[in-house]
Every structure is written in C-alpha cells, then in structure tokens.
A and B are shown apart, each in its own frame.
Chain A
Amino acid sequence: MSRLAYINARLIDPASGLDQPGGVLSEDETIIDVGAGLFADGAPADIPTIDCGGHCLMPGLVDMRVQLREPGEEHKGTLESECRAATVGGITSIVCLPNTDPVIDDMSVLEFVARRARKLGLAKVYPYGAVTKGLKGEELAEMGMLAEAGALAFTDAVKPIGDARIMQRALSYATTFGLMIIQHAENPSLARGGVMNAGETATRLGLPGIPRQAEVIMVERDLHLVRMTGGRLHFGHLSTALAVDAVRRAKAEGLAVTCDTAPPYFALNETSIGDYRTFAKLSPPLRLEEDRQAIVEGLKDGTIDAIASDHAPQDEESKRLPFGDAAFGGVGLETLLAITLELYHNGHMSLIEALKPVTAAPAGLLGLEAGRLEVGAPADMILIDPGRAWKIVADKMQSISKNSPFDGRPVQGQVLRTVIDGRTVYDHAH
C-alpha cells in the first residue's frame, strides 16, 4: 500500500462547494482523506508528499463529448495520443462517441476501446454505445448488451437521430436500462448542404447556411417524444439561444432533459470564420454573438448542465480544403479548461461554478464515479493555477491533429499536474 500526501493546496470541489486551504491523502488509487486544514502543520514524516504550493487541487475534468479516432482513423489520433492530450488538458475521464470505424454498435468494439485505453493508464475512457446499427438511423443497436458491456449512454455521435419513430423507440427502450439518449440536435433536411451558420456572413461568403432553427426544431420534437415515452434525453453541444430557451422551459416543466455545450459556443461566434478559416468550421456551426451570449446565460442559470470539449480531430488533408469541402470539427482536449475558465475570468461565474460543468455535473449525468474530491473516490485530481497566462499554440499540442479553432488565443489557467488513480501522469514542470 502506498500513500501520498498532497499538502499546502487550495482545495476546490465543485460538487460540495468546498474552496478552502487543505490537503488530500491518497492510498494507491483512492482518496482516503480530504479536507480543509488537512496537513495544515505539514504531512507526517513517513508519507511521501507533494507540495501544491498553494495552487488549486481539484477533481480531474470529466469530458462527456470526445471523438476518438481509434479504431479506424489512427492517422488523425490514436488512443494514446488523445489520452495523453487529455492529461495535458487536465481531463482524467473521457467519454467517447461511437463514431469510430468500426462503429461502437456492438460489445466487442466497446470492449476493445475500453481495454486498450485501460492498458495505457492515461485518461480513463468510457464509451457511449450507438443508438442505431452503423449509426445509420434505421435499426436499433443492441443497446442492452452495450449497456451491460459498460456503455454509459447512447448516441449516434455526430449524426442526429432524424427519424422520429426511431427516436421514440430509442428513448422508450433505453429506459429499460436506465440510460439516456444523447442527441445531436439538428434537423437534417434544414441542415442539408449547409457548412456554416445561415445569415449575413454566409451570404457574404457565398456559403450555404445551416439555419439556427435547425437546432431548436429537433429539440422541440424530441421534447415531445420525451413527454410521450418518459425517456431520459440529453442534448449535446447546444449552440443557439432558441434551443437553450426550449430546454429552459422543458426543465421548468419537470422533464427529464439535460444538455451540454462546448467552448466554441460560449467563446466564439461566426466571425471567427473570417475569410474562410476552416478550423472554425464546426458542427453545429458557430453562431451569432447573441447566441454566444445566450449560451453563457444558459451556463449561468444552470439550464446548460455541462461543458464538453467536443474534441474532433481532423488531419490537415481534411482541413486544407475550400471551406465547403473541409471537414467539420475542432480539437478541444487541451483547451477545455482554459476556455472554460474564461467564464470565471470574465466575471460570469465564480471559480467553483465555472468548474462544476466540467467535473461533478457531467459525472453526475452519466453516473460516473469521478469529478469529486471525497473519501473513497478515485484519486483522479489535477493541480491548476487558474490565473497563469499562456497562449494556445496548436502546433505544440499533444493531439496528432492540430485543428484548434482557438489557435493563437491568449488564455489563463494552466494545468500543473494531472493525477490518475493516484499516479502523476502529467507534470507541467517536466
């Protein structure tokens, strides 16, 4: 049994609201003591210690929307490269979308990904299962078997479940296993052919647009299906004021519905596309400034439960194309924390409030034993300096793909150390 004392820390635990000087004691992979004032007089001499230097010790981030490219597209990212990128970004738990090749629509693929990731000993990887076979939106995948194999929830990843009857059945069937369906809320026919937000900028650039209404139409349809089925529904990466409003009303009504957003949607708007910058080509597309502000409001009032990186690695060949032909998506593992902290630095939320959507909130939604500092929890922790300034440089990222929409952005908030199961897997100083 090996014990390790983390002393001289500012403990931040968004789950309990704790923000106090204190320490943590871990034994092997578990936290066995944590609290304000712990080791205030220094650690006992017989235990190895890590001096946190007064920096924030908090639970590792839980990222509930990540695309991994292994198996299938290892040239864009391997489990190892992306799990390492996660540790640099302070993420200790990744929940990955099933759009690998082969698709995670059966147990063997799910188990392959989970097993490979476990062997790496880096960020923990929990897969979602597909809702439909091959993500084709036609027949239900073996959701029960996937659940038994460890799927945390079901989603067709970057594809909306467009067929209302399939969605109705998926919501109904998933209740059997107590798991939720995660929807990419976008009406397929309105979005067809679109490459950026519809409106003046798209018109000026001569690019086909995706109207903002494509999102809320899907949200509203699915809310009716939740009323009909009693299913449990979660919307991924919401991007519009209209959709946030719809979810806000649904929550007030008491529906079992939650949602998340991603850093681009509260930190950027469609002007980032500028003169056809393909790194800003995301799905859903970057929207208007008023939408960005509505996403911030949704985070502040709790309508939006979680923030996920929406990590989507794309290689140069799929981005160095005319805008219309380029792939959607941006990498996000290494920028999730710093961009989320903008909510705190810009005065929208307290430090604790800003960190909850990337820790306790997503862990709670998915029933993950993660995202909190408490006795008995796994020792998945990060040490951060929320004020330390740095500049995002895509070329220096650990991800194999460098398609960050935030390249060149000055940010604040540095991960100093990442601890997973009691082992330091990333140390900024080394």
Chain B
Amino acid sequence: MVSHSTRALVTLAVIGAAVAAPSPAPAHPFGDPQTVVISLDEQQPDVVHVKWRVGGPDDLTLLGVTLGLLPKDRVKADGTVDYRYTDPGIVGASAQFADYFLQRIAVSNGTQACTGAVQQPIQALALKGATADFACASPVRSATLAVRMLTDLNPAYRTLATGPEGQRYVYEGGHDSYDWTLVGARPAGTGKNALVQLTAVIGIALALVLAAFLLVKRRRRVVPA
C-alpha cells in the first residue's frame, strides 16, 4: 500500500516546480566585488591616481542611503535594496561622496600622507567609477594605499586591487593597507602562476574522475548484477 506521504512528496515536487520562485538577486556584499586600480601619473611623478569602481550598482544605493542622499526606505527591513537607475548619478554628483571617497581611501609616500582630490565631474559612476588624484610631497617610487571603501556599511565588503606590472592585492577587514611599487616593479607573474596552479588542480581532478569512472566500469563487468 502506498503511503500518503510518498504521494504527497511527488505531488509537492511537481507543484513546487510550477510555482517556486527563482532565486533573488545576490545579497550584499557578496555580489560583484568592488575594484581599485592604482597608478602613477605619466607626466607628474609625484601624483598617484586611484580609481575605484563599485561592484553592484545597488551598493551605490546603499551608500547613498548611508550618506543621507537617498531616502532610508530604499533599504528594506530584510536587507534588500530598492535600486533605481538614477541613484549613481545622485551619489556621484554629491560632495558627500567625494568626502567619503577621501576618508576611505588614502595614499601615503613613506610617512607623509598625500593630498587627495576627486576628479570632477563624475560621470557614469556605476559603470566607470571615480578617480582621485593624490599629490605627494616628492616623486613616488612606492606608495602605501589604504582602502576601506564600504566596509563601514558591512565589514564583509572586499576590494580587489591592481597596480603596475600585474601587482594585485585584496583589501578586507584587517588587511586594509598595502605597499605598491609604482616605479621599477617587476612583472608579478600572477597570470602564469595561476595557470600552473589551475592546470595542476584541474589535471588531478580529471584524473580522479577518470579513475573513479574506470573503477566503476570494471566493477560492473566483474560483478554480475
């Protein structure tokens, strides 16, 4: 005799397939990661450029709400954000955003802090990001860049940063400062390094899958069902 629970299970599965909602958008702060690019000005050796770009545009909405530029009800009680396509423009045009940028991103040349100014006007903040010029007291060969963007909103925000010659670093809570070589950096070789590591892991994984497959096949031949 078939159990009612079993029938219910199958029925539920079928009905569930028809009515279940697809997954919601990725929750903060685990969407597209924010990025930073550090470079030295080609004409002025004492000026460092830092370009920041947000991960998801709705991160800008969250920031706009925090800076008082957007109404609070744009962030729902469950943490979801009501993003509108005008949000990046509102945030980018505000003085609050420029101040916030310079509070959360800092450059120092040795012990001396460099003076930052955000390039204006900021256009297409979500797409192209914003850049600040940091003028240092003397020509820069290496600089310390501190990045704490958005970590005040949620400490889990991370920033993936790139510098000259393929240098890379990940900023996160507890790792918010890093020294970059801006002149005379040797190629970091992260691409080659990654290729070797990934090939090794993929090779081993494929070998294991193949071995398991052959083992199962051999067992099937040897052991009669």
Tell whether A and B belong to one assembly. Answer: no
- Chain A residues within CB distance 8 Å of chain B: none
